[in-house]
Structure 1
Amino acid sequence: MDFGTWPRLLVVDVEGNGAVPPDLVEVAAIPIAAGRPVPEDARCTLIRPPRPITPFAARIHHITSHVVQAAPSWEEVAPDVHAHLQGAWIAAHNARVDYDALRRHLPRWEPAGVVDTLRLARATYPDASKYSLDALLAYTNVPLAGISGQRHRAGYDAHATALLLLDLARHYDTWDALIAVAIPPGMPGFPPQRHEEQTLW
């Protein structure tokens, strides 16, 4: 894989407050450049949601309403998040969840394309027994020691997903071969369907 052919790519992760639909309480994006995550250029911010964080959500990501009490509101951070994501490809594990949450909060934003590491892993590792992020990190033995933070926080999960994506990318010769498998149908970047020309013979 020639990583020099990759477009600008940000691996993203979001955490919500447990409401339906969820309000965002944390957003992270880490770039991949020259075949490696670039944590020094990562963006991660806590957000004070308009509705309280549910106990169930807090048990998963350990972000409570008290933790985000002094955090900015979404309206305060949205312009910066939009500007940072604009024009980039994004990648995420089970990417439709993150994409849908971001699109709901940024209705005028559209990424250049969406890479789903869940979809990619199912095609790349058909013998894996499970395809959760934790299961795939264990299956691939991706090294996690250098990641700061903790699992289920946006910054950590985005970095871990970036490492998983790079592991998966080793199985593909080109960027085009990778995205042919990794983009869910109907998502940005999905190649248009080719219809055979109808003729009389």
Structure 2
Amino acid sequence: MQTYDITITESAQDYLSELLEKQSVEGIGVRIFVTQPGTPYAETCLAYCRPEEVQEEDEVMELEPFKVYLEPHSIPYLEESVVDYASDRMGGQLTIKAPNAKVPKVSEDSPIEDQINYVLFNDINPGLASHGGQVSLVEVISEEQGEIAVLKFGGGCQGCSAVDMTLKDGVEATLVEKVRGLVGVKDVTDHSVTDNAYYQ
């Protein structure tokens, strides 16, 4: 049986078991997944999963009281996550801590989109944030010479007169150096909008 680096504490299992019993649906379980994984907007979600909602490709964690269904694409982002239930005077709260939801652990075998997002999130956006800007990946297109990352700038980078310099010398150089198979980047931002630009 496969093991996952996901911890569901005993108190969380007890709490979830109680909730599931109240559903009075035979074989109901729990689904854990991440929306917009590997981006700053990642959200880790936990939902009921009825038998008819189980997907063929789901991975399954068999716990004593119930089954936990994992969306395959979410699994790398759920590594080292902890689902816990802490009771307090107001009743209690179920929490999910997923340190890798926004930043996946990537390797050279990871999809190129994940590798690009990882470099953007860790190496590029922290520097752009000082100007109130950020850059995100729109898509990856294959051309004869290799893969091109299509990027969109936002915040203080949109409409900024220094964006070409930032793009070519900073962003493109860093991405091409760190992501194998990537040969260049393309900017699809509408830089005619200069409302928030850092340099006008």
TM-score of the pair, normalised by structure 1: 0.21
| TM-score normalised by structure 2 residue count | 0.21
Task: Please identify which structure carries the higher strand content.
Answer: 2
**Bigger radius of gyration:** 2
Structure having the higher helix fraction is: 1
Which structure carries more relative contact order (alpha carbon 8 Å, separation 6+)? Answer: 1
